[in-house]
Amino acid sequence: MKSIRRDYLPFGRPDFTDREIDAVTRVMRSGWVGMGPEVIAFEEELSRYIGASQVVTVNSCTSALFLALLISGVKEGDEVICPSLTWCATANAALYLGAKVVFCDIDPQTLCVEQESLMRCLTPRTRAVMVVHFGGRTVDVMALRKLLPERVHIIEDAAHALGATFSNGSKVGSSGNLTCFSFYANKNLSTAEGGAVALNHQEFADQLRSLRQNAMPNDAWKRFNHAHTAFLSVALTDLGYKMNYTDLQACIGRVQLARFDTMQTHRRTLVDQCLSRLGNRFLWQTGIQEPSHARHLLCIQLDRDLKLSRNELLLALRQRNIGASIHYSPLHHMPLYGHLAAVALPNTDAVTSRILTLPISAKMSMDDVNDVCDHVLELIEK
């Protein structure tokens, strides 16, 4: 029997170096840690990397999704379509606005929204469709746009997909749709917490920048550091929120972005090694080896003929200090959303008991990957 790992290997962990630590130290010594010049610089650098004219950072991807729906005009009584196989924030963002969530099915091979199922969910009350680029695999939103009525907005949940590309080579975030990213601890680019909306609409960007900061006309950096704003009174006209990003986070993001392509290359090397050793033992997400895939999650599906169940394999790996996980438990199976499951989701239901996420991060070494593979092979062969 292979020996148990001494240290726990999480399914995803940030790759921080002395450069990130030095950046945080520099900002802390500057005396300005709130939203300021680092946030502005990070937004500009990220917009250039993505190929979007505007990037607006916020305190989480959940906030990004909520604000994207808000400025799209989603309100109480509207319907918002999203997959059930996603993190709860995708659906919750619509519920916060009083909208009704309508769950659509997924393609069992891509784990992304199934176009036919999505189209069947359309009604006259549909206001938006939330497309999840699951695990880092892109959905063809250009093709989807041609099928949807003009009144229906496409919101891209790209929490998994920074660095992913569409079939035409353009990066996720450049489509013109409101595209929401996450910088949570386990993401490919991490600032511990945070999110952003990428878009090509100046008026929407101005609205987002105001809403994230209590709907104020000027952010704190301008109010306290520009002489001409010293005597301006704040006359609020809209209900805003406290959802801003900070310079402490943004300075980490700037370093991470400068290192991002290198980290992505390392992820691909690790995934390729895992596939070379386990490739014929499981069903893999379509496109996981393609350059277009961001490789945020390394999702496998256990074959129905395998005598070991998904839950048994998961628990056995955890007992060996390997942080396998599940992405995700479908939302329509949960009590909070049960009343929303108006249509059958056979593909989602089919993968529910067979899907498993193996550890993957730029912080992992090749020895880590081989260790995971050794344990997996030993367990399924045993």
**Top-level class of domain 18-257:** alpha beta
Closest CA to 184 of 356, 12, 42, 367: 12
**Top-level class of domain 260-381:** alpha beta
Handedness of CA 303, 308, 309, 314 (dihedral sign): negative
182 touches 6 (CB < 8 A) = no
pTM of the model: 0.95
- Domain borders along the chain are 18-257, 260-381
pLDDT by residue for the chain (382 residues), tens only, comes to 888 999 999 999 999 999 999 999 999 999 999 999 999 999 999 999 999 999 999 999 999 999 999 999 999 999 999 999 999 999 999 999 999 999 999 999 999 999 999 999 999 999 999 999 999 999 999 999 999 999 999 999 999 999 999 999 999 999 999 999 999 999 999 999 999 999 999 999 999 999 999 998 766 556 556 555 555 556 688 899 999 999 999 999 999 999 999 999 999 999 999 999 999 999 999 999 999 999 999 999 999 888 899 999 999 999 999 999 999 999 999 999 988 766 789 999 999 999 999 999 999 999 999 999 999 999 998 8
Contact residues for 93 (Cβ-Cβ < 8 A; gap 6+): 62, 65, 66, 68, 69, 130
264 token code pair: 């992505």
61 token code pair: 């991807």
CB atoms within 10 A of CB 26: 12
**Does 187 participate in catalysis according to the annotation?**
yes
The backbone torsions φ and ψ at residue 6, rounded to the nearest 5 degrees and listed phi first, read: -75, -40
Q: Considering the candidates 100, 171, 187, 363, report the single residue annotated as catalytic.
A: 187
C-alpha span between 151 and 159 (Å, rounded): 25
